[in-house]
Amino acid sequence: MKKRINLCMCLLAIATCIVTFVATLTISYQAALARMETETMRQAALVAAGLEHIDALDSDEQKAYMQAIGKSDRSRVTLIEPDGTVIYDSNYDHSQMENHLERQEVQEATNNGTGEASRTSATLGQQTYYVAKLLDNGQILRVSNTTDLVTDDLQRAIAPLLLIIIVVIAFSIWLATYLTNRLVRPINTLKLDNPLENDIYEEISPLLHKIHTQNEELQKQMDKMRHQKVELEAITSNMSEGMVILDKELRILSVNQAAIRLLGAAFQDFAGQSLIALNRDQVLNRRASEAIKGRKTEHRMENQNDRQLQIFCNPVRGDNQVRGCVLLIVDISEKYAAEKSRREFTANVSHELKTPLTSISGYAEMISNGMAQPKDVAGFAEKIHTEAGRLLVLVDDIIKLSQLDEKAPMTVQFEKVDLKKLLESVSLQMKDYAEKKQVKIHVKAEDVIASGVPRMLEEAVQNLCSNAIKYNHVGGNVWLRDTKHGDIVYLEVEDDGIGIAKDDSEHIFERFYRADKSHSKNIEGTGLGLSIVKHIAELHGGSVGVQSYEGKGSVFTMSLPQNASTVDE
């Protein structure tokens, strides 16, 4: 604006100077021309008066008078006979000059006594003004001046005039710049934060009031937006799900901490960056692009920490247009693992059930179609009975596991459990089995009170104790112990039996895993006992582990938080 005002003022000053210059020249020229014409007339009148006065003189004296006049002035003086013959000219040889009778001024003077004309002189070739006067003796006196006289005067005035104009233009430019600066300075230094505090031209006052109103409106909007942003951040930062808000170009508008963590990116400010900066997964980027086109999409992926993520990409609409999209990232690892283990469990259960059922079906078929010898029937029936027994144990374990699966830690009701009594009770229950296997059970119990479900804890110790007897030698020992360190209580079942190979000990808590296949053939089992123990320990907020040396024996330890009532809350 400043430049424009300055330029306009400068141009105006220059234009004014040029117009003034041209006008001054034109007016001066016109005035000088008029002055020259008047002067010529005056001279003609004077010379005519002189000639008439010396009319009595002879022609030589007349000539001498004419010559004297011609020399004393710049004007040209011509004397013409009534027939048009030029008898004297102050600037030229009159004998060379043509007859002047037809000249306009001569004609006018012959007819009216005085004549004038302005034209290019045939003799001089210059624009000339003529005045002719009829003398009493019939002769015509003509006095003329060329416009050169005028232009010469003007040319002399041009240089100083130009100088003045240049000075005026320079001054005008300086003045224009100074005035523009003065005019614009208050506008440039306007305090727009507090528009009403400005003391400036009253013409700008309505604008300042408008700015003030808009400032207030803007401030309100900003406060509202800031408030909403804080609210949104508070919500999203406490979310365990990741949330990413993208604009139409897939640039990040907002991303919460959970999203950065789940997508495995380094923590930094991602605002304005592309989604690629957050995660390079091509399919995710494609799904987000599809959401921008208005289609809800989903994507499953595994992050660097092997977590299973499910990502929902939803378009965000405004004014019937897709403005961007929101990605909601959910960690479904637990759900995924549970689904996977359920699938495996179903497959394993079917397989495990099939084996005894196939035997039962085979023996029953042989008996029913008479293929079995009467003496073998009792043996076959015994085998059917054994397989059915195995089947019952298996189904029983499966039911127990399913029931445990259904229970969530929060829903379990805990009570105080006297572990010493519990161990003694298990020892008593296992007595017959131990004697049958020729294994001794030793209870080394302290008075420890745990918090839990007595029936479940007993079931777990029974399983461990049963294994300790089952996977033992004749004459072997089993020790049942309880102890407490700090807030943790420990239940230990130790044996000096066959032990577990290192590779197997990592898997024995998995469902249907049986350590040594050669054993499983000889020793009956379902491969579910330790899974049940593990499940029970976890439901109590604890865990189970094993330390074992092949051929030497094993120690199974269940650790449970003593104040397990917290789990109950």
Q: Binding residues for ligand ADP, per CB under 6 A?
A: 463, 467-468, 471, 495, 497-500, 508, 513-516, 519-520, 525-531, 554
Closest CA to 122 of 141, 106, 103, 149: 103
Nearer to ligand ADP, 455 or 552 (CB): 552
Output the smallest distance, CB 401 to ligand ADP, in A. 11
DSSP letters spanning 114-140: EEEEEEE-TTT-SEEEEEEEE-TTS-E
Output the smallest distance, CB 475 to ligand ADP, in A. 16
Output the smallest distance, CB 470 to ligand ADP, in A. 6
Phi and psi at 254, nearest 5°, equal -155, 145
Output the smallest distance, CB 393 to ligand ADP, in A. 8
Nearer to ligand ADP, 529 or 561 (CB): 529
How is residue 73 annotated by DSSP? S
Closest CA to 309 of 287, 331, 328: 331
439 by DSSP, 3-state: which? coil
Nearer to ligand ADP, 384 or 498 (CB): 498
Beta pairing partners, 80: 86, 140
Output the smallest distance, CB 527 to ligand ADP, in A. 4
Output the smallest distance, CB 387 to ligand ADP, in A. 16
- Distance separating alpha carbons of residues 54 and 69, to the nearest angstrom: 13
510 by DSSP, 3-state: which? coil
CA atoms within 13 A on the CB side of 362: 8
**DSSP H or E run through 314:** strand 308-318
Nearer to ligand ADP, 108 or 397 (CB): 397
Output the smallest distance, CB 555 to ligand ADP, in A. 9
Output the smallest distance, CB 463 to ligand ADP, in A. 6
Closest CA to 466 of 487, 444, 497: 497
Beta pairing partners, 242: 329
Nearer to ligand ADP, 270 or 556 (CB): 556
Nearer to ligand ADP, 296 or 442 (CB): 442
Nearer to ligand ADP, 224 or 440 (CB): 440
Nearer to ligand ADP, 281 or 496 (CB): 496
Nearer to ligand ADP, 181 or 520 (CB): 520
Nearer to ligand ADP, 131 or 500 (CB): 500
Closest CA to 267 of 294, 299, 242, 296: 242
Output the smallest distance, CB 485 to ligand ADP, in A. 23
Residue whose structure tokens are 């059930």: 353
Output the smallest distance, CB 525 to ligand ADP, in A. 3
- Distance separating alpha carbons of residues 529 and 511, to the nearest angstrom: 8
Output the smallest distance, CB 491 to ligand ADP, in A. 14
Neighbours of 515 (CB within 10 A): 22
- Distance separating alpha carbons of residues 502 and 512, to the nearest angstrom: 18
Nearer to ligand ADP, 500 or 564 (CB): 500
Give me 19's structure tokens: 């117009």
Angle CA(387)–CA(390)–CA(396) in degrees, nearest 5?
Answer: 140
40 by DSSP, 3-state: which? helix
Nearer to ligand ADP, 356 or 499 (CB): 499
Contact 470, 525 (CB under 8 A): yes
Output the smallest distance, CB 267 to ligand ADP, in A. 43
Contact 427, 460 (CB under 8 A): no
Nearer to ligand ADP, 381 or 555 (CB): 555
Output the smallest distance, CB 528 to ligand ADP, in A. 6
Instruction: Please state whether 201 falls in left (phi above 0), alpha (psi between -120 and 50) or beta.
Output: beta
- Distance separating alpha carbons of residues 545 and 494, to the nearest angstrom: 12
DSSP letters spanning 165-218: HHHHHHHHHHHHHHHHHHHHHHHHT--SSSGGG----GGGHHHHHHHHHHHHHH
280 by DSSP, 3-state: which? coil
Closest CA to 464 of 523, 531, 398, 405: 531
Contact 482, 489 (CB under 8 A): yes
